[in-house]
Structure 1
Amino acid sequence: MSFEIDNAGALMKTDLPLPKRSGKVRDCYDLGDSMLIVSTDRISAFDWILPVGIPGKGRLLTAMSQFWFDLLKFPNHLISCELPEEKLPGIDLEPLQGRSMVVRKASVIPFECVARGYLEGSGWREYLETGAVCDCTLPAGLQQCDQLPETLFTPATKAEEGHDENVSYATMAASIGESLADQLRTATLDIYRTAAEYAAKRGILIADTKFEFGQVDGELILIDEVLTPDSSRFWAADAYKPGNSQPSFDKQFVRQWLSETDWDRNSPPPALPAEIISRTQAKYQEAYDRLVTVSE
């Protein structure tokens, strides 16, 4: 058993004596009849996990997901955010506190389910090239970050490494069946609508977000994280001005700083300076405070 903590105090890695698989941010452990998901403080950009993390980020992601799971009332995988001490004998639980979820095991549906309320990111780039996003034709003359005439459902393949790839609804339906694809589209748009209405009352625009779903005994459930700054674009409503990119509550400072260095994106990335770590940490905290703390 070991924990890797960087010089900034960020938890970068956990290594518990249990079957494990890791993603860019989360370490997942098999507890037999359930799974333990630990959100580390790792942060990724341009498909690389950076050598330093954002202290406390994993705890904020976990707390925000827990909040949304409760608010949305959509069936989900969360059992508890309390650590099951009886299943973790002899393990130092302190580094895991506040950043762990015990969840139901599920059959994962191999598509990201993206809801887009505004035109940004890969959707904006695709629109410039084709006038459409994932085969959804849009009106001519839209600006970057414009609100879309209607929220789009744009699935993407789940990539273990590198970028997820946007695909059409027809491609997803051909892979998993029309009935399940329709359930995913309906659920994604309904959840987005509920979350966007809630966030708007707190001065936050949810530009887009992605969900992951699984199935347990034929029931469709939300899995992984939900509506965090890692999986969503949150914009301040009072600063919103279409026609250019918007300040967002995520890792924009990280991406911007990396873009201004001479890093070639093909070799290991440089370590972040303390200022960028601090500003990114503050943005994650502000998103949590606006969406969660204000409502408590």
Structure 2
Amino acid sequence: MDIRYEVSPKDVKRYTTEELRESFLVESLFKEGEISFTYSHYDRLVIGGAIPTKEELTLDAGDTLRTEHFLERREIAIIHIGGGKGKVKVNGESYKLEKRDCLYVGKGNEQVTLHSDSSADPARFYLVSATAHKNYPTRLLPIAEAEPTHLGSDAESNNRTIYKYVHEDGIQSCQLMVGMTLLEPNNMWNTMPAHVHDRRMEAYLYFDMEPASRVFHFMGQPNETRHMLIENEQAVISPPWSIHSGVGTSNYTFIWAMAGENYTFKDMDFVPVEELK
């Protein structure tokens, strides 16, 4: 499990491009036949990627969590981001997932395994886990049943649809919040005007991108912005003190996941574009 420590915004002001990427960019989450995890000290969020092929893959606490099983003190959301059909078994009960479906699994579930229907066309699962103090029911939410919210416009290059999976009025959780944003063709901007929310961190996974496409992900304090170039299926850890916005060389999809103190979308502090530097 890759470990990422908290970083002071004062230090980030002096970071080189490579130091910025080493601290906040997760470049290789998806490897065939493996589960790859990155553990962030920001709100103890864990993100991961899994591609089961011939054999099932099992959630394992490993040496980092120091618990008997992965979900002993945690909850997790599993989103199918592409590839062939797959399923997740939770204590023996099977849940079928197709692209953009989300499965939430609550605290205390001991056996969680990931499967692909075909090893020739394996499923690709994105995993997001936060600490939990209580068990909430396991629940599958297919993309077809998720309520869409349409925002933006072609004129602003941000015509997009947001699907909220795990949130206050959707799948219930302790502190995990997860959703997905799809940008329409010829639309490239997300989360502009930018905002911060000091009470919770966020992680972004960018996907559905062509190999040559890139997203310019903007971060940093509003008066000290920085950027990183992101490739397909790479993730970014966004600190609570940082803005998080992006623009692509073409349209893309991203999954946003949050953990922290506030379980609401009403705590955002927006930053007018003219105040960004």
Give the TM bin, normalised by the shorter chain.
Answer: under 0.3
When the two structures are superposed, what TM-score results if normalisation uses the length of structure 1?
0.23
Pick the structure with greater CA Rg: 1
